[in-house]
Amino acid sequence: MGGLTVGTIVKGHPVVIGSGTIREAPKGAPVPAVIDSAPAFATSIPAIGADPSLERIEAKIEAGKRLSLEDGLTLYATPDVWGVCALAHRVRQRMHGDVTYYNINRHLNYSNICALSCTFCEFHRKRGDAGAYEHSIDDIRAEARKARDAGATEMHIVGGLHPYLPFDYYTDMLRAIHQEAPTLHIKAFTAVEIVHLAKIAKQFKSADRTAGIRWVLEHLKESGLGSLPGGGAEVFDDRVHDEAFKGKIRSDVWLDVHRVSHELGLNTNATILYGHIESVDDRLVHMNMLRTAQDEALQRLGYETDADGGVTLTGEGAALPTPAMNDRGGYFQTIIPLPFFPDGSALEHLPGPSGLENLRTLAVARLMLDNFPHVKSFWIMQTLAMSQLHLLAGADDIDGTVVWYDITKVGGAGTNQETNVWDLQRVIRDAGFTPVERDTLYRRVERDGAAWRLAT
């Protein structure tokens, strides 16, 4: 594929970014206020329908056909960003009509102590560092009671790769939450944490890594794990991996964890962290790898492949997978595009993605990931205002009421954010959709205050 370049802007650092690679500017070079050679994407406002290159893609979408990587490049290169959003919106309407989902959830970060120090991450601390913490099982019990009393349907749990906590800590955590709040769905542990737990439990063997992964997932499932979040995927490219998050698992291992989860009947999510040192090609390759993994998951559930060997869910009347199929296997539920936040990370000199780039990337994700049932806008990393725009660019889901999110926050360090159901419903209604509360597995919820049940 031809290489598109990521734009070059510098915040006081003599660093130039091109084709997604960090390069030091020559020593002694003056630091301009703004260096800007090629913008990442064309930004002129086009006339409606002005770009004929989108017509070919539109025809494929109308026929329910899979888009190629080449098509993906066109979607990124066209100046008609609104045209891209309109195509994604059309697909999303076909799949979900006027429904937009939201959920009532709580986030729990059990510890920020991490054996790794990824350059893009501002969350990690070493033991003894200012701000380092680890919660006791009693603290976690108290959080579960708070979540239950507030009517949450989900507890989303992630943490650093804690070097000392034993494996029992994790199973005890799940059991304690389940005892305090039996109806609370526990979505917990990113793929890299699962591999870390396999090592802690001395089950990880590189000769057969899936055996250790399976062992951990089976034990966690038995202790109350309901599904896996989509974090830690970052961007599936070895160069980006080595420059920005060396030490984390690579794409093949991340995909192994999700495949084994699916084989065990656990649903999972997926993310893409964009707007740092990756290129547009990298983003598309990432989406393609997720799409291939989902093809396999859906075939396990009995879906048949198209003539081109894939399974698409975006055609008129296509049946989406449901948790009723979990006895045959799990599947990816949603893609969550995450914009990179530079502040506080070792990549602080990068600008991070712009609003238009956020819109476009979400729309491209909807169009490329034709076998993902849902596209989620995580408002806490996007702002609620941006998430509302996402609803017109392919997103059918806003996560969530989110209390205590400690990894990355739009408002900057020190502000833990939360929104309420009324605000979520308002932004959804204002965008012309019907808000529908869901549980973690996208089943409809009926609610009376803090009391809730699954709709029949």
Positions touching ligand V47 (CB under 6 A) are 120-122, 190, 229-232, 234, 269, 271, 273, 336, 338, 340-341, 345, 378, 381, 399, 407-408
Q: 413 with 125: CB under 8 angstroms?
A: no
Q: What are φ and ψ of residue 444, in 5° steps?
A: -70, 145
Q: Decide whether 231 or 310 has the Cβ nearer to ligand V47.
A: 231
Q: Decide whether 80 or 399 has the Cβ nearer to ligand V47.
A: 399
Q: 76 with 88: CB under 8 angstroms?
A: no
Q: 4 with 279: CB under 8 angstroms?
A: yes
Using the 8-state DSSP alphabet, how is residue 254 labeled? H
Q: Decide whether 71 or 193 has the Cβ nearer to ligand V47.
A: 193
Tell the smallest beta-carbon distance from residue 98 to ligand V47 (Å): 23
Alpha helix ranges (H) inside 321-450: 355-368, 379-382, 384-390, 421-430
Tell the smallest beta-carbon distance from residue 12 to ligand V47 (Å): 19
Tell the smallest beta-carbon distance from residue 377 to ligand V47 (Å): 10
Q: Decide whether 249 or 336 has the Cβ nearer to ligand V47.
A: 336
Query: Which residue type, as a one-letter code, is found at position 400?
Result: G
Q: Decide whether 83 or 230 has the Cβ nearer to ligand V47.
A: 230
Q: Decide whether 82 or 245 has the Cβ nearer to ligand V47.
A: 245
Q: Decide whether 78 or 333 has the Cβ nearer to ligand V47.
A: 333
Tell the smallest beta-carbon distance from residue 37 to ligand V47 (Å): 25
Going by their DSSP bridges, the two strands 445-448 and 451-454 should be labelled as: antiparallel
Tell the smallest beta-carbon distance from residue 170 to ligand V47 (Å): 18
Which helix (H) or strand (E) is 454 found in, with range? strand 451-454
Tell the smallest beta-carbon distance from residue 111 to ligand V47 (Å): 15
Cβ atoms within 10 Å of 289's Cβ, excluding its own: 18
End-to-end CA gap in the chain: 48
Mapped onto helix, strand or coil, the DSSP state of residue 45 is coil
Q: Decide whether 87 or 336 has the Cβ nearer to ligand V47.
A: 336
Burial environment of residue 258 by CB neighbours within 10 A (0 to 12, 13 to 18, 19 or more) = buried
Q: 258 with 322: CB under 8 angstroms?
A: no
Q: Decide whether 232 or 329 has the Cβ nearer to ligand V47.
A: 232
Q: 289 with 280: CB under 8 angstroms?
A: no
d(CA 274, CA 284): 11
Tell the smallest beta-carbon distance from residue 283 to ligand V47 (Å): 13
Tell the smallest beta-carbon distance from residue 68 to ligand V47 (Å): 26
Residues 6 or more apart whose CB falls under 8 angstroms from that of 168 comprise none
Alpha helix ranges (H) inside 228-313: 238-244, 251-263, 280-300
For ligand V47, the nearest residue by Cβ is 231
Residues 6 or more apart whose CB falls under 8 angstroms from that of 130 comprise none
Alpha helix ranges (H) inside 301-396: 355-368, 379-382, 384-390
Tell the smallest beta-carbon distance from residue 191 to ligand V47 (Å): 9
Q: What are φ and ψ of residue 24, in 5° steps?
A: -70, 135
Q: Decide whether 65 or 106 has the Cβ nearer to ligand V47.
A: 106
Tell the smallest beta-carbon distance from residue 378 to ligand V47 (Å): 4
